[in-house]
Every structure is written in C-alpha cells, then in structure tokens.
Amino acid sequence: MKRRFSFLFFIIVIVCLLLPERLAAQLPDLRVLEAEHFLELLVQGRYDEAASRFDSVVAARLPAVMLQQVWESLQQQVGRFEKYEHFTVTRSDPYFSVRLTLRFAKGVLLDLKLVYDDRDRITGIFFLPAKQQPYQLPDYADTSAFHREPLKVRTGRYVLHGELTTPAGPLIYPVVVMVQGSGPADMDETIGPNRIFRDIAYGLSSHGIAVIRYNKRTYEYAGRLDPDSLTVWEETIDDAVSAVRLAKAIPGASGVFLLGHSLGAYLAPRIATKVPGLSGLVLMAGNTRPLPRLILDQMEYLYSLDTLTAEERARLDTLRKKVERVLKGDFDTTTPAADLPLGIPARYWLDLRNYDPVATAQSLELPMLIMQGGRDYQVTTFDFNEWKHALSHRNNVDFRMYRNLDHLFLPGEGKSRPSDYLIPSHVPEKVILDIAEWIKTVPSKK
C-alpha cells in the first residue's frame, strides 16, 4: 500500500522533541544493539513488536499503525531502504541517544535517532538528515563583508544559543531578528540538507544588514518541557520578544525588523504587539487560515498526490472531525490530546482560538513585506491573497510572489512534494535582494 512522506510527519514523530546533544565516545552499549534490532523490526514489517519498545507517551502518540505509515511513506519518497551504514551515540543524562545512518535507494542518507530513557524505553523517535551533509555557502554570501559572533537569547531561566552577524563596514545598520516555523528548529532552520535561515542571514549581512538567529526553545529544552502545557508563547513568542529586546541594545542598531517564516510569520503580528518600536515585519509564507484548517488542507493535498485508499480516506475523515472540533471550540483542557489534531494538547489550541493574524496586522501601523512561494502547498496563494485583500490599500505594505519557489523558498518545478525538501539547494539571491532593498526603503515608507 502506498504512503506519502509528509513534512508534517516530523511533528507527528517528534513526540519527545529534540534533546540537547553532547557527543560521546563510540563505546559499545546494549542500547545500540537494541536500536539495531528496532531497525530490523521496521525492515521486516514487525511494527507491533517495534512499537512495544516505546514508553507510554510515545506509544500513545505513535501506535504501530502510524509507525508503519511513517516508515512506508518515507520509502515512498526517498526510495527503498538499502542498508544501515554506522551508528553514533549521544548522552544527555538521563537520556541516551542512538543515531543509525541509513541509506535509501534514491541516494538519500537519513539518521534514525532513537532516544532512550533510564529504563531503556524509547522516549523519542526521529528521522533526521544525516549529520555528514556539510553546508555549502551560497555564491551570494560574502564572508569578508560581515562578522560572526555567538550570542545567547535569555528568557527567564531559558538560555538559547544563537549567532549575530554584523556588517564589516558600516557602524550603523538595521538589525533583523529571525523567527522559525513550527517544530523544534535550530538557528539555521535546518530542514533536510538545507539551512534556510543561514542562507538568508549571510545574504543580508553581505548587504549591510545585521541578523540575529537562535535555536528555538523546543530544540534546546525539548526533553525538559511539558508538552501538555506548551503554547505558542513558550514555543515561539516569549523568546522572540527577548531577541528583539536584545537586538535593540546592539550598538549601531538603526532599527529592528522581525522576519518570520511559516509559523513565525503567522505569529509575527502577535509578537509585534509585545515589542513596541519595531521598524517593520517581513512575513515569509505566513498563513491566514487557522492552524487546524491549515493542517487539514495540507494533508488533503498530500493524499491527493496519489490514488486515495480506503484506509487513507478513513484517516482523513478522522482528522477532519478533530479539526472541526477545534474550530467549533468543542473542547477544553480536559480533552485528551489524542482527540485533537496531530495529538497536540488542548492548551496549545485554546491559546490560538481567538488569534487572527490578519486582524492583528491591520491594527499595526508597521511597514510590512509579505512574501510567498507559488509552489508552496503548506501555505498557499490563498493565504497570500488574503493578506493582499486586507493590506494592499496601505502604502507601507509590499508583496512579493515567487512562482517557482516552495514553502522553504527553494526553487523547483511541477507539483511541490515533501521530498523536495531533501534536495540540497539555496534560497535564491533574488529573495535576499528583495528583503535587503525593502529594509533600506522603510524609512521613506514611514
């Protein structure tokens, strides 16, 4: 039976989220053997046995039937599993992680990362880009034109590692704070072999603009966060506010801009209400539709890429009912996460229930640049047109459409598919130049 590998599967699979890593010596461990046996069970189609290794949280959110869907969907997109090449281990007490590097028929290398607790139960399962894929600088990144230095974004007891890039020439410059999309994301917004935010940061700093980017809290502190109490405030907003305040204190900062991608763009107007004095917003692939509706539309698109089976139709119907439940507000904090879209707990959805990104943006007087890829199936031209309908009458709001770019603002042809994200590429220079030139024109727009 055919399955599809959705980018959303990262949200479904990463039930424990990424743990901070500390490289350990390559010492033999029984959990390495257990991880190799887990892979063997996947390859042999013994999904019930594989799922029996999960702890109670993962077992509830990733039952055997869903584990089968993920494994088969993955091979549908990257080719049949060919071989297991080697392992690496990482310790972050009380957790122990094993990464098995897997090769697939289409030449794609992925790491199966299994996180074990102190009882040797699997408390996290991930399919990640293999670590040995180095980043190649895009041609437009002139490293002699800017300086790089580490920084830390602090919000209460949370400290997030990041990087500040500043122009080497001018002493006065605008500063951009970058906010990633959903899920645990590093400062580069690494997806597959691509590092979207590093492309943009180095490109902008090559044109005289400073940039702050940082790891998301769900990336650095995932193993220590309570998923049942998590909302977009803990996931994104609080740390973005801290980063903007940090940017304002940088000597030489002539103004601070907030650049959000995907979920970051969706939340950017809400973030802006908490930090007065921003110079402007850059929204890249920001949805106007409610997040539950967006998830359903994405899944319907992915299933439409091939003939819909009875089993897949049943899954869609189940998801549709969960989405409608959230949209109608027919739930509260006691509603089990399993009864809600993607198994995300109720508090997350309750916090977003009354949030309207368009209405919030309309209430702001800030200059805005709204950008959209024409091949984006996750956030579509429908959302882009909604932004235009609401804001095009304002002379300080600009719009850019890129017909051949996808959700990651990477080039491609034909229908966009999740497997496109695994193809090494760079954000085109045209996107970088449009952002840089717009930022430099903002004083006149004010």
CA distance 71 to 3: 9
Residues acting as catalytic residues: 262, 376, 407
Give the dihedral of Cα atoms 139, 140, 144, 145; nearest 10 deg. 180
Cβ 99 vs Cβ 387: under 8 Å = no
Among 226, 235, 252, 250, which residue's Cα sits nearest to residue 179? 235
Residue 146: its H or E element: strand 146-155
Maximum CA extent, the chain? 64
CA distances from residue 146 to 137, 162, 208, 215 in whole angstroms, order as listed: 14, 16, 8, 21
Among 351, 163, 155, 182, which residue's Cα sits nearest to residue 239? 155
> Residue 293 has what DSSP assignment?
H
CA distance 46 to 35: 14
Classify each residue of 104-114 as buried b or exposed e, where b means 16 or more C-beta atoms within 10 Å of its C-beta. beeebbbbbbb
Question: CA 416, 371, 383: angle at the middle one, nearest 5?
Answer: 70
Among 324, 407, 428, which residue's Cα sits nearest to residue 7? 407
